[in-house]
Structure 1
């Protein structure tokens, strides 16, 4: 019987106690969570948070999505090897790394310069070379680089701006956490035609707000 190191035991516990109970059962996703070392995408002082069921703190007051949200979104998006992905909110680069294993190319936008450098360094150290991390305000997307097969908002928004939806290919999928406290929902939007979209909200969750996305109107008629 193989004895796991404390680090690998923590990773195993994360998968078995947090991820599987959230209906993440696709074997290729579970294998990715072992292969892509989450702790290596955190500053050394924060490595202890790598496997905790929480939004993991990052520099500049930002945070990573919780491990179960990242894993469930990855499973439900069904990213394919030929696809081009846009991520908004690079953070530490971890979600971009997960996406990169499944996609052809990932463009990850990050508004915080410190996090741009952190994500680039983490991805370089992990040997992942099909991700570009760009210093940019992601609230407008990256129309000049689109259209995209998949768009991932690695944080929450009050609503998904039409300008970003328009950057999906027909047949493309977008993931975002949509809503406000106390109700946020994982939202998957598929572009079904030139101006047609289908939306599913299969599970509740929460996530830190992305910067510069519009707030909902305080008035409703």
Structure 2
């Protein structure tokens, strides 16, 4: 990887509307080629999804940057991520927060993500195998939650584990055509605060998602 490689993704994020300097620096610092299958490394610096095992794909980098920016992280937050994949988004969150608990339902993907993160010396992340719709209650409350799969509503356990004043970003929809939305937990419950962008995501599977 060269700085020129990651600059391509920085420029893509800027074109997509990302303005947060800390987010752009994280995109510049994290080598996406370390978070895709080895045989796909030359595709890593295109602003496009990359196939990974189990019929999954990584999220487009500029979309990752927009979703992360919507959390408005300041550097000290305790973050819950639902859907680790190969760990690229996890790595960006780790650069921008205090620590990250990331839940992946597929053990082989979780193992790969751990290896990828360890390979980059990223130590403030814990990857957990489990049902992301249940969150990780033993580590709650969270200052921010980022969900990387689609469901028409926010799973109630995730709402309950988000502290008052915390933000949650999730693609809202049936899977395939979504409205990526940012919410805030208030004393009255979860309140929609804005629209991030339209997107296409895989479905959110679990007890409080699709079965």
TM-score by length of 2: 0.91
Aligned to 2:66: 72
**Matches of 1:181 and 1:197, distance apart in 2:** 21
Aligned to 1:108: 102
Aligned to 1:158: 152
**From 192, 195, 198, the counterpart of 2:191:** 198
Higher-Rg member (1/2): 1
**Matches of 2:168 and 2:66, distance apart in 1:** 14
Aligned to 1:30: 24
**Matches of 1:80 and 1:124, distance apart in 2:** 24
Q: The residue matched to 1:156 in structure 2 has which SS?
A: coil
The answer to whether the Cα contact below 8 Å between 2:176 and 2:201 also exists between their aligned partners in 1 is no
State the 1:38 CA deviation: 0.6
The answer to whether the Cα contact below 8 Å between 1:110 and 1:136 also exists between their aligned partners in 2 is yes
Query: How big is the alpha-carbon RMSD for the aligned residues of Structure 1 and Structure 2?
Result: 1.9
- After superposition, where does 1:58-97 map in structure 2 within 5 Å? 58-97=52-91
Render the CA deviation track for 1:96-155: whole Å, top value 9, x for unaligned.
Answer: 111111111110011111111111001111011010011111121111210100011122
What residue ranges of structure 1 are gaps of 5+ in the alignment? 217-221
**Matches of 1:201 and 1:81, distance apart in 2:** 23
Aligned to 1:128: 122
State the 1:80 CA deviation: 2.3
The answer to whether the Cα contact below 8 Å between 2:150 and 2:175 also exists between their aligned partners in 1 is no
The answer to whether the Cα contact below 8 Å between 1:158 and 1:180 also exists between their aligned partners in 2 is yes
Aligned to 1:12: 7
What residue ranges of structure 2 are gaps of 5+ in the alignment? none
Render the CA deviation track for 1:17-41: whole Å, top value 9, x for unaligned.
Answer: x211111122222121111101111
